[in-house]
Every structure is written in structure tokens, then in C-alpha cells.
Structure 1
Amino acid sequence: MGDKVLMKGTEAIGEAAVKAGCKCFFGYPITPQTEVAAYLSKRMPKINRVFLQAESEIAAVNMVYGAAGTGVRCMTSSSSPGISLKAEGISYIAGAELPCVIINIVRGGPGLGGIQPAQSDYFQATKGGAHGDFNMPVYAPASIQEMADIIQEAFDVADIYRTPVMVMGDGMLGQMMEPVEFRDVQARELPEKASWAANGLHGRKQHNVINSLFLKPEELELHNEKLQAKYAEIKKTEVKYEVFNCEEECDLIMVAYGTTSRICKNVIKLAAKEGIKLGLVRPITLWPFPQEAFDKTIDKTKHGYLSVEMSCGQMVEDVRLSVNGKKPVGFYGRSGGMVPTPAEILDKVKEIVGGAK
């Protein structure tokens, strides 16, 4: 256990990656995540690790493919348009079953959009993120401390399942400063890499070839079935969520992640002063989505759920699938970098539950 230090979210990501044993970082600057690369550009060379600013996001993600293929822990980071450029490489990495961590500090879109915080990359992150049948675990921390803790877990999950893992925070979480403690996290039991990594070790009976190309459809289907079995296991074992203030029956349960969930906790306090009982379901893994949290709370809410997002309505679709018509599901969102205020969310709550009690 160490002392807490005041750090910007993006810099805390960099230090947490170092603590997690990241050996190589490949990236390209884009606001609001540039400080991840800036921090690691100074930190990595001092400890004899690799930092490389690539000529583009496309080059960076393909460097990750190469480094991950040798079995070392590696990471890249970007913001929304940059993740789109990395999409082809992410699909290749998933297809080749390579472990890596991808950071997305989300900005407003579509297009170049703006540099203010948003959550409008939810569909991109959770519905595959690129071409082909694949998924990747997606974590959505709500504080800089949680972000630092999750980095270690992300690297472990990537190694255990041989998969890319995304840690997704909005621009506010990336740019704000909070006290953070870099804890000694107990690493999980990890599988060996010698059976698949192409790292030049001698004494193997076969060559290890890193590949995602299967020209025979029968072979590609078998590969897809193998991947789907892996994703089914991740759904069983890697779901994370928080259920807050739902011990007793609520008038309404909000659903929010990241920075928006912190705002919703303030809404709960404001609503209580007016006699309105609110709860919160906070997904920490966006994929796999925490269906279980809704099974646990479906009988605790009078008026159903309200999905609160910094988007035009994306996670709300997964909330509706999870609730499966058993209770109403509403939506409140701001977009383009606008951050919802507690007062305006409370107004939406009152619209649903009928005002103060």
C-alpha cells in the first residue's frame, strides 16, 4: 500500500499500466487522451520499456498486434475517431486471439465532433467494435482510483482469455484530477504463453504462427465457434456492476456508468430531500452487460428504470433487453459534449414518478 498522489486520469492510466507490467506502448496523440502517451513517453524509457509514437493510429494498433504476438503485455490508447481508425486492427487482434489493452477516452461525435466528454462510443465498444463476429471485454470505471485498479484487471483478463480488452472513460474522467493510490493488486493465475506466442524461443516442436486468416469456410466456422465459446465463458465469469441504494423499494432506478453514474448519485441525494426514493445500477463492465443486476432489482422499482447517458441513447437498448418488457425503461441523455446536471435529471425523474411525494 502506498501514499495517495493527485493525478490526472490520463496520467494515472499510464502509471497503472506500468505497475501492471506493460512492456510496450504504441500510440498517437489525440485529445483528450494525449497525456497517456505524454506520460509514458517519459516513464517507459527510464525503466527500459518501449514507448513508440507511431505515424498514425492504424500503425499503432498494428504494432500492438506484433508485440502482443510475442506474448509481452502491451497497450495503446486513443479517443473516439482514433479508435475508429484502429478498428480493423482490433478485429485482427481478436481474430488472432492476442492479449492487449486498449484505452478509449471518449470525446463527442460523430465525425471530428468536439473534445468535450461523451459516452457516444458505447455501440462501437460493446457491439463488436469492428468487422466480423467478435466481442471484447469493456470496462467503464467511474473514478480515477477505479480506473487505476481496473487497468491491472484488464491486463489479466486479456492474458487469461487471449483477447483485446478495452477500458473506456469519458473525457471528463480523463482530464480531471483526483487522489489515487497504486495498490499492489494480486494478479490472477495466468496461463502460459509459450504454446502460442511467436517470441523466438528455441526447443519447440512446431512453429507458432500468429494469424487471423482462414481461407476454408469450414475452418473459419470452427474458429468462430471457438471464439464464441470463449465469449460465453467471459459472460459467465467477468461481469462487474454496482447496485446502489436499492435495498428497499425505489420509486425509480437509474442506470448509468462512468462520470454519469457519479452525477446520478447526487440526484439520489436531491430526490431524497423531496421524498423520492431512487436507486442506481452502475455497469462496470459494459460488455459483458450485467443482466444479473436487473434480475436482482426488477422487483425493487415501482416505475421501472431510467437510462442516463452522455449520448443520444445507446446503453438504453441493453437496459431494455435486460428488463425484457417486465418494467418501463425511460431515457435521458445529453450529447455533443454536454454533461447532464443533477437538476435536469431530477426533472426527468419527476416527469416519470409524478413529482415530490
Structure 2
Amino acid sequence: MGKVLMKGNEVIAEAAVHVGCKYFFGYPITPQSELVAYMARRLPGVGGIFLQAESEIAAINMVYGAASTGVRVMTSSSSPGFSLKQEGISYLVGAELPAVICNIVRGGPGLGNIQPAQSDYFQVTKGGGHGDYNIPVLAPASLQEIVELTEDAFDIADRYRTPVILMGDGMLGQMMEPVEFKERSEREKPEKAWATTGTRGDGGPRIITSLELDAEGLEKRNWSLQQKFALIKENEVRYESYQTEDADYIMVAFGTVARITMNAINKARKNGIKVGLIRPISLWPFPEKPFIETRDQVKAYISVEMSAGQMIEDVRLAVNGHAPVDFYGRTGGVVPTQEEIYEKIITIAGGVSV
């Protein structure tokens, strides 16, 4: 299959089908509704099941039920709808169930608007529901990367028995680019001896639950989960470094904002300012290594976000006081421009705009 021109939301759906997802439970909300519509058309043709639930709350609980049987299952939403899924997501973590949850972020808080934003960063990276937990979060910057990270998300979910979040903004969901769905080598398929598919008389009952009424028993489960989170932090960090080797200033951005920022960096480089980029691809676990490697050489880091400043907290923790950390952001659905980011670089560098 060669390259095809597709919309971002539809790319997510097709990539999920390509990697064996046959079950989708969702509810339409702009700007991710095309994902739901695509799954409604696509899944019956591959022997799968699509169901539009009566609400986001119902959808995430249907995901819980399907995941309990060991199948690859997915849901998607946008910011207010994603908020409604938080209780169910916490249940998935507590019951150690693999699933992929997509959040195409829109402006908030509240109903906000349908324009692109990144202001759900805290919600996805800090454990948006109750309890002590983290979830792997992948943030693509292009539609081809959506293909790769959607497929990776299902593998990570199965590998660690955990929900995985794929997060993009409304611009990424709505843009169109050529993509290719490549045939990949045989992917790992871990045995799911825990799945509620019946024991056929071989072994005891299989029970899926996040309920543990004994305090010490729940504490033991929590420490087990923490060990799993530590393993994910060790093995699943993803990032891109761009022209950081000799950089005096390093920008930090993810998703589509990183693409805009890269253009500003190229312009600054042409005008003699040594600027680089660290692009977190896994928002959790956050990539600390590129900051540790560069924080003694640079004069400042600049976090660029479509929010009032959320990822900047993780940047500051990674830099750990070794260099100043500045910020440039637009919020409410306003997308920062290349020129705005370039002018911020000029201001921080103390140069003259060219």
C-alpha cells in the first residue's frame, strides 16, 4: 500500500485497525468526530464491533469490559469528553487492563471552543483521575508519526497491561497529509492468561477488578503498580533532539507546536543565533535525559506551548536549576505563529530582530 492522503483523525483510526484493533466504543465531540465516524464505517468490514455509546462515561466502561477479555480496544474523545472518562480510566489502571484512549485537545476550560490546544497536559501526565497512577502518553507531531505511535500505543498497552493515551491537538486531528501504512515485522503478542475468556477447567476463576477492601492488600497492589510505572519510565521514553549539540538556547515543544517552533529555530540559526529543540514524544514518561545532557551548556530553555504553561513544570524539574527556563504560550485555542516564537528567541537571546 502506497501513500494516501488522509485526515489526522482518520489516520488514527486506520492505524488502530492496521494493528489489530477491532473494538471501538466512543461518542462524537468536535474536533475528533471523524475518528468515530471512520470507525463506524471501517470496523464492520474487518469483523469488528463499533458502538456509539450514550455518553463518554458509558464508552469508557464498555472499553473496560472489552479489555477484560484481552482484545485490542480503543476509545477517543476531546477535552470535556475526556474529562468524563477519568473515573473509568482510573479503573482500567487499577485493574491493569490494556486499552488505547485518544484525546484530540480543544480549547478550555469548560466547554471552551473547538480550536486546537495543549491545555490537557496536566490531566494526561499527572494521572487525571483518583489514586496514585501514571499512564504512558504519546504525542505525535505529524500524521505519519500518528501511524507509528498509534501502533506503538497498542503494543505498550499489551506489554505492561495498562491504558495508553495518544494525545494530539485539534489541528493535528483536522489536517491532511500523505501517510503510508507499512507492513511491519511480526509484533509481540504477549499471552493474556488473565483474560476473562473462560478457563475451560484449567485453573481457577479469572477475576478482573480494581476493588481491594483490605488496606494492606491495596497498598501491596499500589507498590506493584509503582514498580510497573518505574519499568515504563526506564524503557518507554521517546524524544527528538534537533540542533542541540552547539545550542546556546533550547526550545522545548511537542506536537504541532514543535513543527512551528522548528521553523522559528531555522530562521534564528540563519541569523546567527544558536538555537535547538527538544521535542518530547512521550509526555509521560517525560524525557529527562536530553535536559541532563545539555543543561550545563545552554544559557536558557524556552518552553513553547498551546497553554498557559503546563509542560514548563516538567522542564524545570528536568533542568533542576542548572539554567533559566522561560515560557511562551498561547491559550484558548490560539495557535502561536513562527514569527511570535522567533521574536521570543530574539528577546531571550538579547539580539536584534532581522
Which band: TM-score by shorter chain?
over 0.9
CA distance in 2, matches of 1:230, 1:103: 22
Is 1:328 matched up with 2:324?
Answer: yes
CA offset at residue 187 of structure 1?
4.9
Q: Which amino acid aligns with 1:287?
A: W
CA distance in 1, matches of 2:71, 2:335: 38
What's the counterpart of residue 318 of structure 1? 314
Structure 1: which 5+ residue stretches go unaligned?
A: none
CA deviations over 1:308-331 (Å, ceiling 9, x no partner): 000000000000000000000000
What's the counterpart of residue 165 of structure 2? 166
Residue 348 of structure 2: which of 339, 347, 352 is its match?
Answer: 352
Q: How does 1:205-216 map to 2 (within 5 A)?
A: 205-216=203-214
Q: Which amino acid aligns with 1:336?
A: G
CA offset at residue 349 of structure 1?
1.2
CA distance in 2, matches of 1:162, 1:286: 19
CA contact (8 A) 2:296 2:323 kept: no
CA offset at residue 188 of structure 1?
4.2
What's the counterpart of residue 17 of structure 1? 16
Pairwise CA RMSD: 1.1
Gap change, CA 1:189 and 1:137, over 3 Å in 2: same
1:339 match: secondary structure: coil
TM-score, normalized by length of structure 1?
0.97
1:167 match: secondary structure: strand
Gap change, CA 1:187 and 1:321, over 3 Å in 2: farther
What's the counterpart of residue 192 of structure 1? 191
Is 1:234 matched up with 2:232?
Answer: yes
What's the counterpart of residue 118 of structure 1? 117
CA contact (8 A) 2:103 2:168 kept: yes
CA deviations over 1:104-146 (Å, ceiling 9, x no partner): 0000000000000000000000001211011100000000000
Gap change, CA 1:335 and 1:187, over 3 Å in 2: farther
Query: What percentage of aligned pairs have identical amino acids?
Result: 64
TM-score, normalized by length of structure 2?
0.98
Is 1:297 matched up with 2:294?
Answer: yes
What's the counterpart of residue 96 of structure 1? 95
CA contact (8 A) 2:199 2:205 kept: no
Q: Which amino acid aligns with 2:201?
A: G
CA offset at residue 39 of structure 1?
0.4
Q: Please list every run of at least 4 consecutive aligned residues from structure 1 whose deviation after the TM superposition is greater than 6 angstroms.
A: none
CA offset at residue 273 of structure 1?
2.6
What's the counterpart of residue 134 of structure 2? 135
Provide the aligned length of Structure 1 versus Structure 2: 353
Is 1:79 matched up with 2:78?
Answer: yes
CA distance in 1, matches of 2:47, 2:90: 30
CA offset at residue 189 of structure 1?
2.8
CA contact (8 A) 1:149 1:183 kept: no
What's the counterpart of residue 39 of structure 1? 38
CA distance in 2, matches of 1:34, 1:173: 13
CA offset at residue 190 of structure 1?
3.5
